Structure 1
Amino acid sequence: MEITGAAPGGRDRDTEGRARNARPRDGLGRPLPYGAQGVARQPEGVVRTPAETVAEAQRLLDAGKPFHAHEVFEDAWKSGPASERTLWRGLAQLAVGLTHAARGNGTGGARLLRRGAGAVEDWAAEQGDAQSYGMDLPGLAGWARELAARVERGAGPVDAGAEAPRLGS
């Protein structure tokens, strides 16, 4: 979808009039000045299978782009069955928590990591391994809680690529 640029009032709009931010972004999703060289953004609204979602999110996490991985999980939560929204939303929260921790926002990062950990634990408790799509959900929850504790203790900005979790078991 084409972005038309800043509309009257300063908001970027797509060709259908919806608000879109056309500013380039860095690898952690932070807006850069117009005209700056940014990192390619994830296309929005992509419908993927659960396996494709996990694989693409893992690729982005490994590349140190948790903000972009969050967008992949967000697509899954918005386009997938309502019965799976808790899982994909929880995974998106984990990715955003890592994003905040990498940006140096320990308080927000820890909060989102714990919220996401609770969501994936709840999902795992309700669904079991049959609906985990090969992910180690208890392991992810443990990773998130451990990272949350470290950033709260003042670990400072973390290296998103080095701290990226392994989604699979």
Structure 2
Amino acid sequence: MSAFRDRNPEGRAQNQRPRDRYGRPLPHGVPGVPRVPDDAVFTPQEGLAEAQRLLGDGYAFHAHEVLEAVWKAADEDERELWRGLAQIAVGLTHAQRGNRTGAARLLRRGADRVEAYGADAPHGVDALGAAAHGRAVADRIEADAAAEVDPAALRLTRSGSA
């Protein structure tokens, strides 16, 4: 094990390695995909728009990081919504990486969290649609280990929102 450990400016451990499109760390010095900064702050509307853009481009891991940033800054009564959306996105990431068991678990866990917000979830979030999508993907990858996963198919907002 190397004695060297990446640190942020405050001296806390923080992985500074570049990442691939699926969020896997690459060796230092290898070009990677631009990362969402650890200190990024997004309003709910900004977070939804950026996460949807990233999902549309196939970057579920990076969408997860955006949703996690919103989750960390959210009011207490909305935290589980954002946590669930982030779990659905990271579930898609695990599916992209080939970890079907972990993907299904996270997709279902996230679906349970967001579904609780119902048809009138805040910020125009399509909680029921996101939950249904997460469960459908989980079912599909459990039934067929070779099933393709398209992060762009996840719609985060109700039609006309965000």
How does the TM-score come out when normalised to structure 1?
0.86
- RMSD, matched Cα: 1.6
Residues 65-144 of structure 1 correspond to what in structure 2 (within 5 A)? 65-124=59-118, 128-129=119-120, 131-144=121-134
Aligned-partner SS, 1:13: coil
- Give the distance between the partners of 1:58 and 1:155, measured in 2 at CA: 26
Aligned partner of 2:134: which letter?
A
* Larger strand fraction of residues: 1
Check conservation: 1:65, 1:160, Cα contact below 8 A: no
Q: Matched residue pairs, number? A: 157
Q: Larger deviation: 150-159 or 85-94? A: 150-159
Return the TM-score normalized by structure 2: 0.90
Q: Give the drift of 1:77.
A: 1.0
Query: Could you tell me which residue of structure 1 aligns to residue 143 of structure 2?
Result: 153
Secondary structure at the residue paired with 1:31? coil
How many angstroms apart in 2 are the aligned matches of 1:28 and 1:20? 18
Q: Does 1:21 align with 2:15?
A: yes
User: Which runs of 5 or more structure 2 residues have no equivalent in the other structure?
Assistant: none
Which residue of 2 is the match for residue 4 of structure 1?
A: none
For structure 1, the residue ranges without an aligned partner over 5 or more in a row are 1-7
| 1:33 CA drift (Å) | 1.5
